[in-house]
């Protein structure tokens, strides 16, 4: 949903800053949201299923073309700027420009006719909290450049381009979920995406008195991207071991527990544990969407707890802070389900919480979290919103 055009809205903030720095015609304003994922974690790069949704926290980006080949970027929240050129696309020591430059590089490699441009952006997606601010920035950039230079890319083409930017320029071998959710999100609906065929179905999320609460651990482990890439390789090893006997298997999507028993467990127990989680998680997601169709959020929430257990013990991408937060709500009758969300090693937990209990929950956990984990806790209520779009004037 477009924010109001009051002077304090994020879109008018980026617009005004843009005009102050780059006087001239009004820029194009794009809103690109972060995402939550209800269930189906680490399944996307294994050709499985995910169940994400775009949220009400977003990047707002103002963009206009320039008559030369220069690229001028301003990250308002960081109070930083970058000046470069289309003719020399190299990663920046500041890191944040890479999310935009990676998109530019992919467009150039695909032969799209680009010119120089100016961008000013800001946002309210908490950084490093696992709500995919980076995917939102990539999607905002792809969307804006597509529009500015009339490239004629459809939404899926922009999604895959934004993912490639992250894989090839930023260097994280992420799957497609975050960019897909940011672009394809729809208000009050979750997306069940088949990451093999890229077919997707929207499911209305009838939350009736339930809120999606994100509890931010404020942990940003530097391990996240290296361990992420390691998990990816371990899953590929599992598939390779199975393919020696079952050549028809293309990914963990096609793998059964029997195959793991026969061909992976005897050879590599760690790889077996990783693969077992993925096979179970895909099955759990399919059962969980049945819960959603029946409106049974209690059964759905139970599966979120199971997912957390698997991510923590089998896939080993949790951390003490995430485990602590899930343990804190496990026996709370106001919490239907909870688990760590996203890549792991920090970020936030996603919780389904009875609306009337949200404030009390955060109030109860913050002091114990501070005492035990020596960190502050932030709670966010996420609303499900539309995906990337132009903000009208």
Catalytic machinery residues: 178
Q: How many CA atoms lie within 13 A of 373 on its CB side?
A: 22
CB 59 within 8 A of CB 127: no
Closer to ligand GLA by Cβ: residue 15 or 276 = 276
Distance CA 349, CA 214 (A): 6
CA dist 34 and 12 (Å) reads: 19
> C-beta of 139: minimal distance to ligand GLA in Å?
12
**Residue with Cβ nearer ligand GLA (185 or 343):** 343
Q: How far is the CB of 351 from ligand GLA (least distance, A)?
A: 17
Cα four-point dihedral sign 295, 299, 304, 310: negative
Task: For CA atoms 96, 98, 99, 104, give the dihedral sign.
Answer: positive
Instruction: Report the interface residues with ligand GLA, using CB under 6 A.
Output: 41-42, 44-45, 132, 174-175, 177-178, 342-343
| SS3 category, 212 | strand
Output the smallest distance, CB 41 to ligand GLA, in A.
4
Strands 70-75 and 117-123: parallel
Sheet holding 210-220, edge to edge: 335-340, 346-354, 210-220, 378-382
DSSP letter assigned to residue 88:
B
Residue whose CB is less far from ligand GLA, 174 or 391: 174
- Identity of the residue, 64 or 139, whose beta carbon is nearer to ligand GLA in the bound complex: 139
Q: At what angle do helices 155-164 and 97-109 cross, to 10 degrees?
A: 120
The minimum distance between CB 165 and ligand GLA, in angstroms, equals: 12
CB of 315 to ligand GLA, least distance (A): 10
For the CB of residue 93, give the shortest distance to ligand GLA in the complex, in Å: 23
Residue 212 and residue 199 in contact, taking contact as beta carbons nearer than 8 Å: no
Q: Is 334 exposed, middle or buried (CB count within 10 Å of its CB: 0-12, 13-18, 19+)?
A: middle
Structure tokens at 177: 């979920």
Q: Which is nearer to ligand GLA, 41 or 321 (CB)?
A: 41
CB nearer ligand GLA, residue 238 or residue 343: 343
Which residues pair with residue 216 across a beta bridge?
A: 348, 378
| Min dist. Cβ of residue 341 to ligand GLA (A) | 8
CA 387 to chain CA centroid, nearest Å: 12
DSSP string, 27-38: PEEEEEEEEEES
Integer Cα distance of 180 and 51 in angstroms: 11
Residue 387 in contact with residue 53, Cβ under 8 Å? no
Residue placing its CB nearer to ligand GLA in the complex, 22 or 45: 45
């Amino acid at each position: 949903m477009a924010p109001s055009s009051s002077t304090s809205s994020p879109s008018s903030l980026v617009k005004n800053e843009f005009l102050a720095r780059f006087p001239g015609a009004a820029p194009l304003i794009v809103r690109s949201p972060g995402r939550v994922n209800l269930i189906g974690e680490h399944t996307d790069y294994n050709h499985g299923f995910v169940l994400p949704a775009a949220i009400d926290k977003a990047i707002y980006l103002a963009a206009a073309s320039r008559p030369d080949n220069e690229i001028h970027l301003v990250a308002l929240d960081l109070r930083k700027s970058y000046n470069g050129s289309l003719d020399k696309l190299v990663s920046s020591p500041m890191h944040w420009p890479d999310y935009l430059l990676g998109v530019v590089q992919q467009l150039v490699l695909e032969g799209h006719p680009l010119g120089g441009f100016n961008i000013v952006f800001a946002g309210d997606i908490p950084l490093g909290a696992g709500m995919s601010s980076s995917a939102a920035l990539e999607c905002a950039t792809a969307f804006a450049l597509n529009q500015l230079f009339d490239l004629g890319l459809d939404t899926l083409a922009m999604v895959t381009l934004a993912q490639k930017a992250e894989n090839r320029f930023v260097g994280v071998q992420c799957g497609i979920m975050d960019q897909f959710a940011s672009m394809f999100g729809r208000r009050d609906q979750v997306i069940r995406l088949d990451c093999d065929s890229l077919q997707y179905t929207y499911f209305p999320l009838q939350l009736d008195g339930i809120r999606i609460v994100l509890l931010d651990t404020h942990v940003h482990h530097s391990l996240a991207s290296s361990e992420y890439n390691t998990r990816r390789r371990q899953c590929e090893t599992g598939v390779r071991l199975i393919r020696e006997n079952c050549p028809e298997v293309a990914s963990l999507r096609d793998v059964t527990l029997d195959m793991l028993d026969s061909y992976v467990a005897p050879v590599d127990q760690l790889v077996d544990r990783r693969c077992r989680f993925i096979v179970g998680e895909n099955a759990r997601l399919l059962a969980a969407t049945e819960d959603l169709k029946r409106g049974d959020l209690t059964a759905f929430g139970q599966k979120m707890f199971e997912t957390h257990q698997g991510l923590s013990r089998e896939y080993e991408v949790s951390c003490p802070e995430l485990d602590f937060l899930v343990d804190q709500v496990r026996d709370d009758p106001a919490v239907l389900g909870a688990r760590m969300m996203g890549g792991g090693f920090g970020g936030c937990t996603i919780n389904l919480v009875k609306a009337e209990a949200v404030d009390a929950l955060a109030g109860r956990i913050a002091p114990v979290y501070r005492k035990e984990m020596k960190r502050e806790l932030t709670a966010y209520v996420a609303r499900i919103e539309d995906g990337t779009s132009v903000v009208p004037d």
